[in-house]
A and B are shown apart, each in its own frame.
Chain A
């Protein structure tokens, strides 16, 4: 129900911001959709799988670098490891999703050998490794990054250079994954995943290889986060390591918690809350994240079930 309301509100939001003469806010709406998708995929891992990943910006960044690099070489006319570049999102986005899955298999495969606080530290460490690797890529401007402003936004035959069109493309992707992920958490797989979160020792005693189920969830989540990263670089048309900064991982986690852990739609609500706050607060101070910090403290200490928990009076906290 809440999911339908959130999606419907997002669907009409571009028309609304245009009606009140704030058309520039459409790009903010697009960012809500993109980061909402990434946060939702993180919720699969944290909220349903009980794996506190503090490294998802690595996947978001990997998606951005996959799509960004292909776009860069297309503009440049050069090749990437012998492959010509392309600006076609129907190629760059799936490529990002595949690469994100591979990276997720590597990082998840290693980090899931540990649990608890080790897992948190290890995911954060790998995030930093990926971040430094992007910093070392001089061909894409090193730590300064590189602009891709000459690129268009082609999604199949559709030209989505216009911001409103691009919003709806991203919205369609988000809506599709809302459906897919909601099916997933109610499926046999989702039930096993929740079991691994609640009592991994008992799951093993029942005969489950918990490592495999967790890893598959981690890979799915990494792949979706990576896709979101590709969508983000197509939106911003600027590629830089900041997509993969560790604080981005923290912020994705903040979105999930702000919206409500283990609810999927909470990720979108959390993303919206954060971007709307930024929009208003940045006029008052450059240091608006100070208030994100204060708000986050308040939520953790006083409203651990997040905003949707406040509204609906339910939601779960037992990770």
Chain B
């Protein structure tokens, strides 16, 4: 049982407040979706949870331990991993090598200079297992740049899983996917949540409402609602926010 939480998180760039007194938590066993209109500060919030951005004030805790001061690589080591909105894989490596590299990151140091990188049988085996988890069993030896968009997103998740994270931060993993692909990936995310805490930033409301256990709504940097999908669906402020957005979209 693990829990990532933040309290009083604040971040501003100049006069622009992008995160305003944010409190959130995500526990293992649940998919917690973070939604909100464009520019609401979802990605910035995720970056502060993952350690890429330092908040101006506030704290981030993992199982009660303050990890605010830990850098991105250090947080990976204590169990917080993330994936990116824009695919961020190593295109010149094979698919399996991408996962092996991710495994190297957490399997002790890589100051090993003389043995071929591919000679570690245990690592190769683990890489294949992870590829099987995300449904890329047969793609291992292909060059990563030959993957389809959807497969690339699957590879991203396999790489994030390499560190055996307790908390997984997924930034729009389904972006740009065909609906059936997206739903399969949503099922995968659901299944991961059985022993991992998953924070999901996502635009597709169908997926959010079917896959998430809890939903938090962010607007202009601060939280306006948090609760079960049913609660969020009936929340008047959320309705107003999304109706306004729809109206703006129509104009």
| Chain A residues within CB distance 8 Å of chain B | 180, 183-184, 186-192, 194-195, 198-199, 201-209, 213, 216, 316, 318
Instruction: For the complex, give the distance between the alpha carbons of A199 and B112 in Å.
Output: 21
Q: How many B residues have CB within 8 A of the partner chain?
A: 35
Q: Are A206 and B163 neighbours in the complex by a CB distance under 8 Å?
A: yes
Contact with A along B66-86 (1 / 0, CB 8 A): 000001110011000110100
Determine how close the nearest CB of chain B comes to the CB of A36; give it in whole angstroms: 21
| Chain B residues within CB distance 8 Å of chain A | 50, 52, 71-73, 76-77, 81-82, 84, 88-93, 97, 100-102, 104-106, 110-117, 120, 159, 162-163
Instruction: For the complex, give the distance between the alpha carbons of A246 and B163 in Å.
Output: 44
Determine how close the nearest CB of chain A comes to the CB of B75; give it in whole angstroms: 8
Instruction: For the complex, give the distance between the alpha carbons of A206 and B73 in Å.
Output: 7
Q: Are B88 and A189 neighbours in the complex by a CB distance under 8 Å?
A: no
Cβ-neighbour of B113 out of A183, A204, A206 (below 8 A): A183
Q: Are A213 and B110 neighbours in the complex by a CB distance under 8 Å?
A: yes
Cβ-neighbour of B82 out of A198, A205, A213, A316 (below 8 A): A205
| Known A195-B101, A206-B159: A189·B106 in contact at CB below 8 Å | no
Set of chain B residues within 8 Å of A207, measured between Cβ atoms: 73, 76-77, 81, 105-106, 163
Since A189-B112, A191-B97, A194-B92 are in contact, a sample of 15 more A-B pairs with Cβ atoms closer than 8 Å, ordered by chain A residue number, is A183-B113, A188-B112, A189-B111, A189-B113, A191-B117, A192-B110, A195-B90, A198-B90, A204-B52, A205-B73, A205-B82, A207-B105, A213-B110, A213-B111, A318-B92
Set of chain B residues within 8 Å of A199, measured between Cβ atoms: 88, 90
Determine how close the nearest CB of chain A comes to the CB of B13; give it in whole angstroms: 18
Cβ-neighbour of B73 out of A180, A187, A208 (below 8 A): A208
Cβ-neighbour of A202 out of B88, B104, B116, B163 (below 8 A): B88
Set of chain A residues within 8 Å of B111, measured between Cβ atoms: 189, 213, 216
Instruction: For the complex, give the distance between the alpha carbons of A79 and B137 in Å.
Output: 67
